[in-house]
Amino acid sequence: MGRLFRDESVFDIEYVPERLPHRGKQLEELMNVFAPIVEQPGRIARRVLVIGDIGTGKTVTTKRFGQLIEEEARKRGVRVFYAHVNCQRLRGSFFHVLLTAMRRLRPGFPDRGYAPHELFMSLMNALDEEDAHIIITLDDAEALIKKDGSGPLYDLSRAHEDQLEGRRRLSLICVVRDRKKIDALNEATKSTLMEYVICMPKYTEDQLFDILADRVRLGFYEEAIREDVVRFVARLSAERGDARFAIELLWRAGKLAESEGKREVMPEHVRKALMRVWPIPRDVVIGLPTQAKLILLALAREFQMTDEPYLRMGELKDTYRAICEEFGVRPLRHTQIWKYVRELADRGVISAEPSGPGTRGRTTFIGLRVPAEELRKMMEEELSKELGV
Ligand code: ADP
Ligand code: MG
Protein backbone atom coordinates (compact mmCIF):
# COMPACT_ATOMS: atom_id res chain seq x y z
CA MET A 1 0.00 0.00 0.00
CA GLY A 2 1.09 3.55 -0.67
CA ARG A 3 2.41 5.34 2.40
CA LEU A 4 2.38 8.76 0.87
CA PHE A 5 -1.01 9.36 -0.67
CA ARG A 6 -4.11 9.49 1.45
CA ASP A 7 -6.33 10.26 -1.54
CA GLU A 8 -4.88 10.65 -5.00
CA SER A 9 -8.18 11.70 -6.56
CA VAL A 10 -7.75 15.24 -5.20
CA PHE A 11 -4.98 15.76 -7.77
CA ASP A 12 -7.30 14.94 -10.63
CA ILE A 13 -8.04 17.86 -12.93
CA GLU A 14 -11.79 17.15 -12.62
CA TYR A 15 -11.74 17.37 -8.85
CA VAL A 16 -13.74 20.26 -7.43
CA PRO A 17 -12.63 21.15 -3.89
CA GLU A 18 -15.03 22.66 -1.41
CA ARG A 19 -12.69 25.53 -0.63
CA LEU A 20 -11.24 27.70 -3.36
CA PRO A 21 -8.56 29.91 -1.82
CA HIS A 22 -8.25 33.32 -3.50
CA ARG A 23 -11.34 32.83 -5.64
CA GLY A 24 -13.81 33.79 -2.95
CA LYS A 25 -14.41 37.16 -4.53
CA GLN A 26 -15.12 35.76 -7.99
CA LEU A 27 -17.39 33.08 -6.55
CA GLU A 28 -19.32 35.65 -4.59
CA GLU A 29 -19.60 37.84 -7.66
CA LEU A 30 -21.13 34.96 -9.58
CA MET A 31 -23.56 34.21 -6.75
CA ASN A 32 -24.59 37.87 -6.60
CA VAL A 33 -25.08 38.19 -10.32
CA PHE A 34 -27.26 35.09 -10.36
CA ALA A 35 -29.13 35.73 -7.11
CA PRO A 36 -32.27 36.97 -8.95
CA ILE A 37 -32.54 33.60 -10.71
CA VAL A 38 -33.41 31.92 -7.44
CA GLU A 39 -35.00 34.88 -5.72
CA GLN A 40 -37.37 35.89 -8.49
CA PRO A 41 -37.53 32.88 -10.80
CA GLY A 42 -38.35 33.61 -14.41
CA ARG A 43 -37.85 37.35 -14.17
CA ILE A 44 -34.37 37.66 -15.47
CA ALA A 45 -31.61 35.89 -17.41
CA ARG A 46 -27.92 36.68 -17.10
CA ARG A 47 -24.90 36.64 -19.37
CA VAL A 48 -21.48 36.58 -17.85
CA LEU A 49 -18.04 36.52 -19.36
CA VAL A 50 -15.19 34.91 -17.41
CA ILE A 51 -11.68 35.72 -18.59
CA GLY A 52 -8.35 34.34 -17.39
CA ASP A 53 -5.16 32.57 -18.42
CA ILE A 54 -4.63 28.84 -18.20
CA GLY A 55 -4.74 27.41 -14.69
CA THR A 56 -6.30 30.47 -13.08
CA GLY A 57 -9.30 28.51 -11.81
CA LYS A 58 -11.90 29.38 -14.43
CA THR A 59 -13.22 25.84 -14.74
CA VAL A 60 -13.13 24.92 -11.07
CA THR A 61 -14.70 28.20 -9.96
CA THR A 62 -17.59 28.04 -12.41
CA LYS A 63 -18.20 24.36 -11.52
CA ARG A 64 -18.21 25.15 -7.82
CA PHE A 65 -20.60 28.01 -8.52
CA GLY A 66 -22.86 25.51 -10.33
CA GLN A 67 -22.97 23.26 -7.27
CA LEU A 68 -23.72 26.19 -4.97
CA ILE A 69 -26.45 27.73 -7.08
CA GLU A 70 -28.22 24.38 -7.55
CA GLU A 71 -28.04 23.85 -3.80
CA GLU A 72 -29.40 27.32 -3.11
CA ALA A 73 -32.26 26.76 -5.56
CA ARG A 74 -33.09 23.39 -4.00
CA LYS A 75 -33.35 25.03 -0.59
CA ARG A 76 -35.84 27.49 -1.95
CA GLY A 77 -37.78 24.95 -3.98
CA VAL A 78 -36.82 26.61 -7.26
CA ARG A 79 -35.81 24.53 -10.28
CA VAL A 80 -32.36 25.57 -11.50
CA PHE A 81 -30.06 23.39 -13.57
CA TYR A 82 -26.39 24.05 -14.14
CA ALA A 83 -24.81 22.63 -17.31
CA HIS A 84 -21.05 22.81 -17.65
CA VAL A 85 -19.98 22.27 -21.23
CA ASN A 86 -16.36 21.76 -22.18
CA CYS A 87 -16.37 23.14 -25.72
CA GLN A 88 -12.87 21.90 -26.41
CA ARG A 89 -13.76 18.33 -25.62
CA LEU A 90 -16.92 18.46 -27.69
CA ARG A 91 -14.83 19.73 -30.53
CA GLY A 92 -16.80 22.91 -30.40
CA SER A 93 -20.07 21.79 -31.84
CA PHE A 94 -23.20 23.77 -31.03
CA PHE A 95 -25.27 20.63 -31.29
CA HIS A 96 -23.32 18.99 -28.48
CA VAL A 97 -23.60 22.06 -26.31
CA LEU A 98 -27.35 21.87 -26.60
CA LEU A 99 -27.39 18.12 -26.10
CA THR A 100 -25.36 18.40 -22.87
CA ALA A 101 -27.76 21.05 -21.61
CA MET A 102 -30.80 19.02 -22.61
CA ARG A 103 -29.52 15.95 -20.82
CA ARG A 104 -29.36 17.83 -17.52
CA LEU A 105 -33.16 17.99 -17.75
CA ARG A 106 -33.79 14.80 -19.67
CA PRO A 107 -31.07 12.28 -18.97
CA GLY A 108 -30.70 9.84 -21.83
CA PHE A 109 -32.11 12.25 -24.40
CA PRO A 110 -31.28 10.70 -27.82
CA ASP A 111 -28.30 12.18 -29.64
CA ARG A 112 -29.62 12.01 -33.16
CA GLY A 113 -32.52 13.10 -35.32
CA TYR A 114 -32.31 16.79 -34.48
CA ALA A 115 -30.91 19.83 -36.16
CA PRO A 116 -29.42 22.36 -33.72
CA HIS A 117 -32.33 24.79 -33.96
CA GLU A 118 -34.83 21.98 -33.31
CA LEU A 119 -32.88 20.85 -30.31
CA PHE A 120 -32.78 24.44 -29.10
CA MET A 121 -36.58 24.63 -29.36
CA SER A 122 -36.95 21.32 -27.51
CA LEU A 123 -34.69 22.60 -24.76
CA MET A 124 -36.74 25.77 -24.33
CA ASN A 125 -39.95 23.70 -24.30
CA ALA A 126 -38.56 21.30 -21.73
CA LEU A 127 -37.59 24.26 -19.53
CA ASP A 128 -41.15 25.56 -19.79
CA GLU A 129 -42.58 22.17 -18.92
CA GLU A 130 -40.34 21.88 -15.87
CA ASP A 131 -40.75 25.52 -14.97
CA ALA A 132 -36.98 25.56 -14.73
CA HIS A 133 -34.01 27.80 -15.43
CA ILE A 134 -30.76 26.56 -16.91
CA ILE A 135 -27.35 28.17 -16.60
CA ILE A 136 -25.08 26.97 -19.38
CA THR A 137 -21.37 27.47 -18.99
CA LEU A 138 -19.49 27.39 -22.26
CA ASP A 139 -16.05 26.51 -20.98
CA ASP A 140 -13.20 27.29 -23.39
CA ALA A 141 -15.74 28.94 -25.65
CA GLU A 142 -12.95 29.75 -28.13
CA ALA A 143 -13.39 26.25 -29.51
CA LEU A 144 -17.06 26.87 -30.19
CA ILE A 145 -16.38 30.24 -31.80
CA LYS A 146 -13.65 28.71 -33.92
CA LYS A 147 -15.90 25.98 -35.20
CA ASP A 148 -19.31 27.62 -35.53
CA GLY A 149 -18.49 31.35 -35.47
CA SER A 150 -20.54 33.70 -33.36
CA GLY A 151 -23.89 32.17 -34.45
CA PRO A 152 -24.34 29.84 -31.46
CA LEU A 153 -23.33 32.48 -28.94
CA TYR A 154 -25.67 34.91 -30.58
CA ASP A 155 -28.56 32.44 -30.43
CA LEU A 156 -27.91 31.46 -26.84
CA SER A 157 -27.38 34.96 -25.57
CA ARG A 158 -30.54 36.15 -27.22
CA ALA A 159 -32.77 33.24 -26.35
CA HIS A 160 -35.36 35.62 -24.92
CA GLU A 161 -35.00 38.58 -27.23
CA ASP A 162 -38.29 38.25 -29.07
CA GLN A 163 -40.47 37.32 -26.13
CA LEU A 164 -41.49 40.31 -24.11
CA GLU A 165 -43.82 38.43 -21.80
CA GLY A 166 -42.30 35.01 -21.48
CA ARG A 167 -40.34 33.75 -18.51
CA ARG A 168 -36.55 33.93 -18.61
CA ARG A 169 -35.18 30.42 -18.64
CA LEU A 170 -31.68 30.45 -20.06
CA SER A 171 -28.54 32.11 -18.73
CA LEU A 172 -25.07 31.93 -20.13
CA ILE A 173 -21.56 31.95 -18.74
CA CYS A 174 -18.86 32.22 -21.37
CA VAL A 175 -15.37 31.23 -20.31
CA VAL A 176 -12.43 32.34 -22.42
CA ARG A 177 -8.69 32.62 -22.10
CA ASP A 178 -8.15 35.40 -24.50
CA ARG A 179 -10.20 38.53 -24.58
CA LYS A 180 -9.31 39.06 -28.23
CA LYS A 181 -11.48 36.10 -29.19
CA ILE A 182 -14.46 38.03 -27.87
CA ASP A 183 -13.41 41.22 -29.58
CA ALA A 184 -13.55 39.34 -32.86
CA LEU A 185 -17.27 38.61 -32.46
CA ASN A 186 -19.88 40.85 -33.95
CA GLU A 187 -20.90 43.91 -31.93
CA ALA A 188 -24.36 42.68 -30.96
CA THR A 189 -23.13 39.37 -29.56
CA LYS A 190 -20.19 41.03 -27.87
CA SER A 191 -22.25 43.58 -26.03
CA THR A 192 -24.73 41.03 -24.69
CA LEU A 193 -22.01 38.67 -23.58
CA MET A 194 -20.16 41.40 -21.74
CA GLU A 195 -23.05 42.33 -19.48
CA TYR A 196 -20.91 41.11 -16.58
CA VAL A 197 -17.20 40.43 -16.82
CA ILE A 198 -15.31 38.47 -14.19
CA CYS A 199 -11.51 38.33 -14.36
CA MET A 200 -9.27 35.62 -12.99
CA PRO A 201 -5.76 36.98 -12.51
CA LYS A 202 -2.69 34.72 -12.46
CA TYR A 203 -1.90 33.37 -9.02
CA THR A 204 1.07 34.67 -7.03
CA GLU A 205 3.53 32.38 -5.31
CA ASP A 206 1.80 32.78 -1.95
CA GLN A 207 -1.61 32.08 -3.45
CA LEU A 208 -0.31 28.96 -5.16
CA PHE A 209 1.09 27.87 -1.83
CA ASP A 210 -2.35 28.17 -0.20
CA ILE A 211 -3.94 26.16 -3.00
CA LEU A 212 -1.25 23.49 -2.74
CA ALA A 213 -1.47 23.38 1.05
CA ASP A 214 -5.16 22.42 0.81
CA ARG A 215 -4.38 19.60 -1.62
CA VAL A 216 -1.53 18.41 0.59
CA ARG A 217 -3.89 18.13 3.55
CA LEU A 218 -6.45 16.23 1.52
CA GLY A 219 -4.15 14.14 -0.62
CA PHE A 220 -1.05 13.28 1.41
CA TYR A 221 -0.58 11.62 4.75
CA GLU A 222 0.77 13.80 7.48
CA GLU A 223 4.52 14.24 7.28
CA ALA A 224 4.62 13.04 3.69
CA ILE A 225 5.86 16.46 2.58
CA ARG A 226 7.39 19.37 4.45
CA GLU A 227 6.02 22.87 4.22
CA ASP A 228 9.21 24.29 2.71
CA VAL A 229 9.04 21.66 -0.03
CA VAL A 230 5.45 22.70 -0.82
CA ARG A 231 6.71 26.26 -0.94
CA PHE A 232 9.42 25.17 -3.36
CA VAL A 233 6.73 23.78 -5.68
CA ALA A 234 4.81 27.06 -5.43
CA ARG A 235 7.99 28.99 -6.21
CA LEU A 236 8.72 26.91 -9.31
CA SER A 237 5.16 27.44 -10.56
CA ALA A 238 4.94 31.14 -9.75
CA GLU A 239 6.28 32.37 -13.07
CA ARG A 240 3.30 30.84 -14.79
CA GLY A 241 0.81 31.67 -12.05
CA ASP A 242 -0.83 28.44 -13.11
CA ALA A 243 -2.46 26.28 -10.44
CA ARG A 244 -2.79 23.34 -12.80
CA PHE A 245 0.97 23.26 -13.31
CA ALA A 246 1.58 23.56 -9.57
CA ILE A 247 -0.81 20.76 -8.62
CA GLU A 248 0.54 18.49 -11.31
CA LEU A 249 4.11 19.13 -10.23
CA LEU A 250 3.20 18.32 -6.64
CA TRP A 251 1.45 15.13 -7.67
CA ARG A 252 4.26 13.97 -9.96
CA ALA A 253 6.83 14.59 -7.25
CA GLY A 254 4.68 12.45 -4.95
CA LYS A 255 4.48 9.68 -7.54
CA LEU A 256 8.25 9.68 -7.92
CA ALA A 257 8.81 9.49 -4.18
CA GLU A 258 6.27 6.68 -4.01
CA SER A 259 7.93 4.75 -6.83
CA GLU A 260 11.21 4.97 -4.93
CA GLY A 261 9.48 3.55 -1.88
CA LYS A 262 10.02 6.76 0.11
CA ARG A 263 7.85 7.99 2.94
CA GLU A 264 8.48 11.62 2.19
CA VAL A 265 8.60 13.88 -0.86
CA MET A 266 11.96 15.65 -1.12
CA PRO A 267 13.16 18.61 -3.21
CA GLU A 268 15.00 16.24 -5.54
CA HIS A 269 11.67 14.54 -6.36
CA VAL A 270 10.27 17.95 -7.21
CA ARG A 271 13.23 18.74 -9.46
CA LYS A 272 12.94 15.37 -11.19
CA ALA A 273 9.22 15.86 -11.66
CA LEU A 274 9.85 19.32 -13.06
CA MET A 275 12.22 17.88 -15.60
CA ARG A 276 9.46 15.69 -17.00
CA VAL A 277 7.58 18.82 -17.97
CA TRP A 278 10.65 20.89 -18.55
CA PRO A 279 13.70 18.81 -19.54
CA ILE A 280 17.29 19.92 -18.84
CA PRO A 281 18.26 22.22 -21.67
CA ARG A 282 21.20 19.94 -22.48
CA ASP A 283 22.79 22.07 -25.16
CA VAL A 284 22.48 25.16 -22.97
CA VAL A 285 24.29 23.42 -20.13
CA ILE A 286 26.91 21.78 -22.34
CA GLY A 287 27.70 25.07 -24.04
CA LEU A 288 28.57 26.85 -20.78
CA PRO A 289 32.08 28.09 -19.94
CA THR A 290 34.19 25.77 -17.77
CA GLN A 291 33.84 27.94 -14.68
CA ALA A 292 30.05 27.87 -14.90
CA LYS A 293 30.22 24.08 -15.13
CA LEU A 294 32.36 23.94 -11.99
CA ILE A 295 29.77 26.03 -10.18
CA LEU A 296 26.98 23.79 -11.40
CA LEU A 297 28.86 20.71 -10.29
CA ALA A 298 29.29 22.25 -6.85
CA LEU A 299 25.56 22.89 -6.67
CA ALA A 300 24.67 19.43 -7.93
CA ARG A 301 26.86 17.75 -5.32
CA GLU A 302 25.54 19.94 -2.52
CA PHE A 303 21.92 19.32 -3.44
CA GLN A 304 22.51 15.60 -3.67
CA MET A 305 23.60 15.63 -0.06
CA THR A 306 20.93 17.87 1.39
CA ASP A 307 17.16 17.69 1.53
CA GLU A 308 16.84 21.43 1.78
CA PRO A 309 15.37 23.17 -1.26
CA TYR A 310 17.81 26.10 -1.04
CA LEU A 311 21.48 26.65 -0.32
CA ARG A 312 23.36 29.70 0.91
CA MET A 313 25.89 31.39 -1.31
CA GLY A 314 28.60 30.71 1.29
CA GLU A 315 28.01 26.95 1.19
CA LEU A 316 28.23 27.00 -2.57
CA LYS A 317 31.56 28.84 -2.49
CA ASP A 318 33.16 26.31 -0.15
CA THR A 319 32.18 23.36 -2.31
CA TYR A 320 33.12 25.22 -5.45
CA ARG A 321 36.66 25.84 -4.12
CA ALA A 322 37.05 22.17 -3.23
CA ILE A 323 35.99 21.19 -6.73
CA CYS A 324 38.45 23.64 -8.31
CA GLU A 325 41.19 21.95 -6.34
CA GLU A 326 40.00 18.54 -7.50
CA PHE A 327 40.15 19.60 -11.13
CA GLY A 328 43.30 21.68 -10.75
CA VAL A 329 41.68 24.97 -11.71
CA ARG A 330 42.19 28.33 -10.02
CA PRO A 331 39.01 29.38 -8.24
CA LEU A 332 37.30 32.64 -9.11
CA ARG A 333 36.78 35.52 -6.72
CA HIS A 334 33.43 36.27 -5.19
CA THR A 335 32.31 38.86 -7.74
CA GLN A 336 33.16 36.53 -10.61
CA ILE A 337 31.30 33.63 -9.04
CA TRP A 338 28.41 35.97 -8.55
CA LYS A 339 28.43 36.89 -12.24
CA TYR A 340 28.12 33.24 -13.25
CA VAL A 341 25.39 32.60 -10.71
CA ARG A 342 23.37 35.43 -12.23
CA GLU A 343 23.93 34.08 -15.70
CA LEU A 344 22.83 30.58 -14.71
CA ALA A 345 19.74 32.05 -13.09
CA ASP A 346 18.97 33.98 -16.29
CA ARG A 347 19.15 30.74 -18.21
CA GLY A 348 16.68 29.16 -15.82
CA VAL A 349 18.96 26.37 -14.59
CA ILE A 350 19.07 27.73 -11.05
CA SER A 351 17.28 30.36 -9.02
CA ALA A 352 19.04 33.00 -6.94
CA GLU A 353 17.04 35.01 -4.44
CA PRO A 354 18.13 37.49 -1.81
CA SER A 355 17.17 36.29 1.66
CA GLY A 356 13.74 37.28 2.87
CA PRO A 357 13.12 40.19 5.27
CA GLY A 358 12.86 37.78 8.21
CA THR A 359 16.38 36.41 7.87
CA ARG A 360 19.41 38.06 9.36
CA GLY A 361 22.29 39.26 7.27
CA ARG A 362 22.32 39.40 3.56
CA THR A 363 22.98 36.21 1.76
CA THR A 364 21.67 34.82 -1.45
CA PHE A 365 19.65 31.61 -1.51
CA ILE A 366 20.27 29.40 -4.47
CA GLY A 367 17.85 26.77 -5.72
CA LEU A 368 18.33 24.16 -8.40
CA ARG A 369 15.69 23.58 -11.03
CA VAL A 370 17.04 20.39 -12.52
CA PRO A 371 17.66 17.08 -10.74
CA ALA A 372 20.96 17.12 -8.87
CA GLU A 373 21.84 13.55 -9.73
CA GLU A 374 21.52 13.98 -13.46
CA LEU A 375 23.29 17.32 -13.46
CA ARG A 376 26.20 15.93 -11.43
CA LYS A 377 26.76 13.08 -13.90
CA MET A 378 26.52 15.41 -16.86
CA MET A 379 28.97 17.92 -15.37
CA GLU A 380 31.49 15.33 -14.18
CA GLU A 381 31.55 13.81 -17.64
CA GLU A 382 31.93 17.17 -19.38
CA LEU A 383 34.57 18.51 -17.03
CA SER A 384 36.66 15.35 -17.26
CA LYS A 385 36.60 15.67 -21.03
CA GLU A 386 37.48 19.37 -20.97
CA LEU A 387 40.12 19.29 -18.27
CA GLY A 388 41.41 15.80 -18.90
CA VAL A 389 41.17 14.70 -15.27
P1 ADP B 1 -8.49 27.02 -15.90
O2 ADP B 1 -9.84 26.46 -16.24
O3 ADP B 1 -8.49 28.49 -15.64
O4 ADP B 1 -7.42 26.62 -16.88
P5 ADP B 1 -8.75 25.21 -13.68
O6 ADP B 1 -10.01 25.68 -13.07
O7 ADP B 1 -8.83 23.97 -14.50
O8 ADP B 1 -8.04 26.38 -14.50
O9 ADP B 1 -7.68 25.03 -12.51
C10 ADP B 1 -6.50 24.26 -12.70
C11 ADP B 1 -6.27 23.36 -11.50
O12 ADP B 1 -6.03 24.14 -10.35
C13 ADP B 1 -7.46 22.48 -11.15
O14 ADP B 1 -6.98 21.28 -10.61
C15 ADP B 1 -8.17 23.28 -10.09
O16 ADP B 1 -8.90 22.45 -9.22
C17 ADP B 1 -7.04 23.96 -9.37
N18 ADP B 1 -7.39 25.28 -8.85
C19 ADP B 1 -7.39 26.43 -9.54
N20 ADP B 1 -7.72 27.47 -8.75
C21 ADP B 1 -7.91 26.95 -7.52
C22 ADP B 1 -8.24 27.53 -6.24
N23 ADP B 1 -8.46 28.84 -6.10
N24 ADP B 1 -8.35 26.70 -5.19
C25 ADP B 1 -8.13 25.38 -5.32
N26 ADP B 1 -7.82 24.79 -6.47
C27 ADP B 1 -7.70 25.56 -7.57
MG1 MG C 1 -10.47 25.35 -17.86
How far is C-alpha 236 from the geometric centre of its chain's CA atoms?
Answer: 13
Q: How far apart are CA 256 and CA 224, in angstroms?
A: 13
pLDDT at residue 164 is higher than 70:
no
96 lines ligand 1 (CB under 6 A): no
pLDDT value at residue 221: 97
| pTM reported for the whole predicted model | 0.84
What local confidence, expressed as pLDDT, does residue 334 receive? 92
Asked if residue 84 has its Cβ within 6 Å of ligand 1, the reply is: no
Q: How far apart are CA 333 and CA 310, in angstroms?
A: 22
The domains found in the chain, sorted by start residue, are: 24-200 (3.40.50.300), 203-277 (1.10.8.60), 282-387 (1.10.10.10)
For residue range 283-326, list pLDDT tens digits in order: 778 888 999 999 999 999 999 999 999 999 999 999 999 999 99
Where do the DSSP E strands lie in 27-140? Answer: 47-52, 79-86, 132-139
Residue 135 burial (10 A CB sphere; 0-12, 13-18, 19+): buried
Instruction: Say which residues have a Cβ less than 8 Å from residue 239's Cβ, sequence separation at least 6.
Output: none
Residue 99's nearest CA partner among 118, 78, 74 is 118
Distance 253 CA to ligand 2 centre (A): 23
Kindly report, residue by residue over 276-292, the tens digit of the pLDDT.
776 666 777 888 899 99
| pLDDT, position 163 | 65
Q: Lowest mean pLDDT: which of 4-18, 99-113, 202-216, 343-357?
A: 343-357
Q: Smallest Cα–Cα separation from 349: which of 292, 273, 280?
A: 280
| Ligand (nearest to CA of 242) | 1
Residue 92 confidence (pLDDT): 64
Our mutation pick for probing the ligand 1 site, out of 61, 244, 248, 251, counting the most ligand atoms within 8 A of Cβ, is: 244
pLDDT band at 359 (very low <50, low <70, confident <90, very high): low
- Here the contacts of 183-190 (C-beta below 8 Å, separation 24 or greater) are 184/145, 185/145, 185/150, 185/153, 186/150, 186/154, 188/154, 189/150, 189/153, 189/154, 189/157
Which helix (H) or strand (E) segment holds residue 314: the answer is helix 313-327
- What pLDDT is stored for residue 280 in this prediction? 67
Task: Identify whether the C-beta of residue 37 lies closer than 8 Å to the C-beta of residue 46.
Answer: yes
Nearest CA to ligand 1 atom 6: 57
Look at ligand 1, atom 25, and give the residue with the nearest C-alpha: 20
CA of 181 to the centre of ligand 1 (A): 22
